[in-house]
């Protein structure tokens, strides 16, 4: 079951990376502008990724637990 949870997290991360890679350039420029204005530009990204990962793992564990 843990392997399935890890696989799900990996697939979600892969889907997010693919979406970012194939995003329109104006959207990418907008995101870059917003993150450049932040005091610490890496913090919002880290919070988004860690929060998304925790939500996915919690949902997978809830569905797969006995």
**Model-level pTM greater than 0.75?**
no
Q: Is the pLDDT of residue 41 over 80?
A: no
| Averaged pLDDT of the chain | 77
Structure-model confidence comparison of residues 24 and 2, the more confident one: 2
Three-class SS of residue 43? helix
Tokens representing 2? 């843990």
pLDDT in tens, 10-37: 888 888 777 777 767 666 677 677 666 6
Give the whole-angstrom CA distance, residue 1 versus residue 16.
23
What does 4-61 look like in DSSP terms, one character per residue? Answer: HHHHHHHHHHHHHHHHHHTS-HHHHHHHHHHHHHSSSTHHHHHHHHHHHHHHHHHHHH
Tokens 């979406």, located at residue: 19
pLDDT > 90 in the chain, percent: 0
């Amino acid at each position: 079951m843990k392997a399935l949870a890890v696989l799900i997290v990996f697939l979600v991360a892969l889907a997010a990376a693919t979406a970012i890679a194939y995003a329109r350039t104006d959207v990418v420029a907008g995101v870059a502008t917003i993150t450049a204005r932040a005091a610490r530009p890496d913090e919002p990204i880290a919070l988004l990724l860690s929060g998304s990962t925790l939500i996915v793992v919690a949902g997978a564990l809830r569905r797969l637990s006995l």
